[in-house]
Structure 1
Amino acid sequence: MFLFFRSYSGPLSRTQQQLHISQIHLRTYVDGTINWVRDRGLDHAVEREKNLLPVMNIKDFIKSEPSKSVPVSIITQKREILRIPMRPIDLIRKYPSIFEEFLPGGIGVQPHVKLTSKVLELDAEEQLTYQTSTCRQQAADRLLKLLMLSRVHKVPVSIIDQLKWDLGLPKDFVQSIVPEFPDYFKVVGRQNFASGSGDMRVLELVCWNNELATSVLEKMAAKVKHDTSKRMDITFPMKYSNGFEMDKKFKKWVDEWQKLPYISPYENASHLSPNSDESDKWTVAILHELLHMLVTKKTEKENILCIGEYFGLRSRFKRALLHHPGIFYISSKAGTYTVVLKEGYKRGSVVESNPLMNIRNKYLHLMNTVEEDSKTTTKHISTRQQKQEQKQEQKEGSDDAFGVQNEAELLNSSDDEDEDEDEDENTSSPHTVRADPRDNVRADLRDNVRADRRDHVCADRGDQVRADRGDQVRADRGDQVRADRGDHVRADRGDHVRADRRDHVRADRRDHVRADRRDHVRADRRDHVRADRRDQVRADRRDQVRADRRDHDRADRRDHDRADRRDHVRADRRDHVRADRREHVRADRRDHVRADRRDNVSERHFNLKENATRSRVTLPKRMNAERPRDVTRERTGMSKRHSVRTEV
């Protein structure tokens, strides 16, 4: 994935702003290229714990029930609350060392789930760890640091609920941790369940702690130089993934960025410009301190953005995660985006030891040892069966020598061995559900076979007694020869019948074992095929969604471009029309002015000619005296208007 960072100055249009938002292409100060590569160790650390939280949630839910068992349907209904990423029944059957499935009373249709003895022992150890004074003090310190990072020194309880797994807090931290430290913090507000408005409680800081208000980098610098006043020497440790290629411009920017003065995350630097490198370094310090105080040294990206939105730094958090691949790593495993602090991991494991992480590692070990145990159990059973078959063959060779009594003892011993073998198979196989109807059928078949064997043995014993009595009577009567012949015939027949019975029993056993193996192999294959199909369907859906999003983004861009073009064309047309109107108005005004000037000039010329004509023509004095002045003016005006009309 390539991210191109470009410096931009000047206002953006509405279309350009929407384009930047859709591409998550933020304004920054570096002019270079970042080639993001995957870190297999960190991806493995994230993927290894993807089912740990759902398993712990189901465990706590089952433990909270009075009967210590829950129907699978109830867990399915609470799937969203328990944050189960798959079908609950698949997750439960995937970890038989944690959960045990059974049918209550042996006749129920709906299966129930309970916890195994091993996980109950681990749960007791976990509860003892939470109750220790050291663990409670560390949890309180982490909560206090989180409150001091906030500008207003208070954080809603709903946000802390999202981070309590990563912070290493117990589920009832409001009732167990908060009242124990009244000089640290307090809860303000009450939770109103009736209104349905959610949890409105807020955890507020009571007293500032200068000792805890020191970042991890400042403590490390103090240990090295014993002088925290030189902030220029405090730099962030960089750990780039294998295969990361750094651009020269980006390397130059990182070096200059590291030389900037370090501002403590517990200081208020909101006066800095959001688009400055100093503000970016302060934001990185807040993120670094927040991830370092988590026991897992990682959390989901949504949690980071949620607390960033409350701090008023959501966009800065996004920018810091994109610009600093040497400090933070974003993993796409486990079906979500996870932000990992690279400094906190070494070879895929957390560097800092913590009793809570030790307990969680034990849970992971118990979850992951199921397959190994099943493999060793299968090998043990097969070897045991081979040894038993060899012993039976050796005993079968001596049947003719020991007679019917030894045959009965052999059958009894084989019955005992079969019972031991069945008990070993039932106890050793971790995937067996004892209340399964198929197991009941098999148990009935075994009981019938054993009853038939006992009946045959009793019949053989009765025949032997009768034969002895008959032989004695016949010997007394002189039929010794016929009795001997009859004994030999009966003995041969009995040997053939017993041999046939043993062969049938062995064949039935082998057939049952082979059928069980075939069933397990077919079930595993079906599970793998279904899982592959589900993964393929999900991948196709994701690809389809991404393609649809790209198409929508491209269509939006085209629409915005066309709208801009139409707006420009219309604006140009309006400008041309207005210019034409202004020119026409100006031309009309000029024409009117020129016409008025011409009229004035022609009027002046007419007046001059009229005056000249008057001066030449002399009227009688009497007529001039009798003519009124106004009449003369009117005639003069009429003659002027007449002359003007004539000229026009």
Structure 2
Amino acid sequence: MKKEPDLESALARNRRWMVNNQIKNIILRSPNQVAPIEFLQKKFKTLDLKGKALNWLKKYPCCFEVYREKDELFCQLSKRMQCLVEEEEAIKDSQEPVFVERLAKLLMMSKNQRLNVLKINELKRSFGFPDDYLLRIVPKYSDMFRVVSYTGRRSSMEIELISRNPNFEVSSIEKLAKKEGRGPRFSCSLPPTWIKSWERFREFDASPYISPYKETIGLIEGSVEMDKRSIGLVHELLSLTLWKKASILKLAHFRREFCLPDKLNVLLLKHPGIFYVSNRYQIYTVLLREGYNGSELIEKDPLVVVKEKFGELMQEGLHEYNRRHYLMNLEKKRKKGDLTIRTETRKRDSNEELCERDDDQEGGGLGGIFDAEERKRFYKVLFDDDSK
């Protein structure tokens, strides 16, 4: 698929953000939400980081606070960071009904109304589920969900849907169609010059829409109807995610549960107007085109908004750290005398450059008023006055 700069930018991963988010979670799980630096240093290996943990944490003073107690260094979240954590938790509490609906929708799209817990965990952050959703949500809604293990092994634990809610059986495409008073159909985001792709899309969209919540009984694998159902299912899955994107590899883990084709990436590449497929970071990712305007999400989930605030706080701390070190290095050079020598050299070079520039101008600027020696004296006074 041809690369599109805006959508490639939307797929960019901020490695620093991900590492700091993991450090934040480690601190939150620590006793009294305080983690010894020595403990974080050991965790750095699992975060695929090198160097000293202390040096990393000092780069983000707006996020983390480091202090010494009894000759041992500790780290805790800053007050501003703690406020963001509280805001995130408040949003998770208020969005509990949304999480319940998302989980129910996932189970309703599956073949046997149940999904493996380990597989759900691979995508739980994409759907915004809290880490403790098995304890926070599933037991609380025992009339809808239950955890089962038919083999008795922990790895085979599944969440099963007990009762279906008809109100949840409406896809995002059907909601939009009802709102606009038309029949359900896919939207296509392609340039008008892509004539053949438009023709293929119109041919595909001409057949009736098949809801991903409809059972696959009677649908033949590889048929147009089955492909349409698969495209609708992936569309619905992506619409349920926070960032309207997901790893194709992780989606393929649900191939049997969702009756998806073996070569899912091939099917998605056939529909460039609906999906954008990228191999950025050597990971195949599919993005829902209609969810983006350029590189920006059109509708941002409240959890996305608070996570963006975390990124802004992180950048603010990094900027503060870089500025402080720049001033410290400047002061060191000033004390050594290197700064004065370089500044004088820069001034002398600038004087000569300006003089040469005026010499090149015929009757313009200072060239038509002073001769070369007078211009040099003028610029010397000008720069000396500026330095004072």
Query: What TM-score do you get using the length of structure 1 for normalisation?
Result: 0.47
Aligned to 1:142: 102
The correspondence for 2:64, drawn from 94, 99, 122, is 99
User: Does 2:223 match 1:273?
Assistant: no
Aligned to 1:38: 3
Q: 1:93: how far off?
A: 5.3
Structure 1 Cα separation of the partners of residues 171 and 151 of structure 2: 33
CA change 1:211–1:254 in 2 (3 A) is same
The correspondence for 1:225, drawn from 181, 188, 194, is 181
Aligned to 2:187: 237
Structure 2 Cα separation of the partners of residues 264 and 96 of structure 1: 49
The correspondence for 2:312, drawn from 356, 365, 371, is 365
Aligned to 1:126: 88
Does the 8 Å CA contact 1:72/1:112 hold for their aligned counterparts?
Answer: yes
Q: 1:41: how far off?
A: 2.1
Structure 2 Cα separation of the partners of residues 344 and 288 of structure 1: 10
Aligned to 2:76: 114
Q: 1:293: how far off?
A: 0.9
Q: 1:319: how far off?
A: 2.6
Aligned to 2:23: 58
Q: 1:326: how far off?
A: 1.6
Does the 8 Å CA contact 1:98/1:116 hold for their aligned counterparts?
Answer: yes
- One-letter code aligned to 2:239: H
- Give the 5 Å matches for 1:167-566: 167-189=127-149, 198-225=154-181, 233-240=183-190, 246=194, 248=196, 250-315=197-262, 317-333=264-280, 336-374=283-321, 511=332, 514=335
Structure 1 Cα separation of the partners of residues 107 and 143 of structure 2: 13
Structure 2 Cα separation of the partners of residues 87 and 354 of structure 1: 34
Structure 1 Cα separation of the partners of residues 232 and 208 of structure 2: 12
Structure 2 Cα separation of the partners of residues 176 and 327 of structure 1: 35
5+ unaligned residues in a row in structure 2: which ranges?
A: 340-388
Structure 1 Cα separation of the partners of residues 304 and 203 of structure 2: 37
- One-letter code aligned to 1:362: K
Does the 8 Å CA contact 2:246/2:287 hold for their aligned counterparts?
Answer: yes
Structure 2 Cα separation of the partners of residues 514 and 315 of structure 1: 67
- One-letter code aligned to 2:194: M
Q: Which structure ranks higher in relative contact order (CA pairs < 8 Å, sequence separation ≥ 6)? A: 2
- One-letter code aligned to 2:123: L
Q: 1:123: how far off?
A: 0.8
Structure 2 Cα separation of the partners of residues 349 and 198 of structure 1: 40
5+ unaligned residues in a row in structure 1: which ranges?
A: 1-35, 227-232, 383-424, 430-508, 519-648
Does the 8 Å CA contact 2:37/2:75 hold for their aligned counterparts?
Answer: yes
Structure 2 Cα separation of the partners of residues 274 and 264 of structure 1: 16
Structure 2 Cα separation of the partners of residues 512 and 319 of structure 1: 59
Does the 8 Å CA contact 2:248/2:265 hold for their aligned counterparts?
Answer: no
CA change 1:120–1:513 in 2 (3 A) is farther
Does the 8 Å CA contact 1:98/1:118 hold for their aligned counterparts?
Answer: yes
Q: 1:234: how far off?
A: 2.7
Q: 1:76: how far off?
A: 5.4
CA change 1:511–1:150 in 2 (3 A) is closer
Does the 8 Å CA contact 2:242/2:304 hold for their aligned counterparts?
Answer: yes
Does the 8 Å CA contact 1:296/1:350 hold for their aligned counterparts?
Answer: yes
| Secondary structure of the corresponding residue to residue 203 of structure 2 | helix
Does the 8 Å CA contact 1:283/1:316 hold for their aligned counterparts?
Answer: no
| Secondary structure of the corresponding residue to residue 101 of structure 2 | helix
Q: 1:205: how far off?
A: 0.5
Bigger proportion of residues as helix = 1
Q: 1:102: how far off?
A: 5.1
Does the 8 Å CA contact 1:157/1:201 hold for their aligned counterparts?
Answer: yes
Aligned residues: 337
Structure 1 Cα separation of the partners of residues 132 and 148 of structure 2: 16
Task: Please report the RMSD computed on the Cα atoms of aligned residues, expressed in angstroms.
Answer: 3.3
CA change 1:316–1:351 in 2 (3 A) is same
| Secondary structure of the corresponding residue to residue 102 of structure 2 | helix
Deviation digits for residues 58-110 of structure 1 (CA, Å, limit 9, x no counterpart)? 211112111533345544554686xx35448476455343234455534x5xx
Deviation digits for residues 21-42 of structure 1 (CA, Å, limit 9, x no counterpart)? xxxxxxxxxxxxxxx2222222
Deviation digits for residues 611-641 of structure 1 (CA, Å, limit 9, x no counterpart)? xxxxxxxxxxxxxxxxxxxxxxxxxxxxxxx
Deviation digits for residues 416-462 of structure 1 (CA, Å, limit 9, x no counterpart)? xxxxxxxxx8xxx9xxxxxxxxxxxxxxxxxxxxxxxxxxxxxxxxx
Structure 2 Cα separation of the partners of residues 51 and 97 of structure 1: 14
Deviation digits for residues 532-583 of structure 1 (CA, Å, limit 9, x no counterpart)? xxxxxxxxxxxxxxxxxxxxxxxxxxxxxxxxxxxxxxxxxxxxxxxxxxxx
CA change 1:211–1:225 in 2 (3 A) is same
Does the 8 Å CA contact 1:191/1:199 hold for their aligned counterparts?
Answer: no
Does the 8 Å CA contact 2:67/2:74 hold for their aligned counterparts?
Answer: yes
Structure 2 Cα separation of the partners of residues 155 and 287 of structure 1: 16
CA change 1:371–1:61 in 2 (3 A) is closer
Deviation digits for residues 147-181 of structure 1 (CA, Å, limit 9, x no counterpart)? 00101000111111111111111111111111222
Q: State, as a whole percentage, how many aligned pairs show the same letter.
A: 27
Structure 2 Cα separation of the partners of residues 341 and 200 of structure 1: 31
- One-letter code aligned to 1:225: G
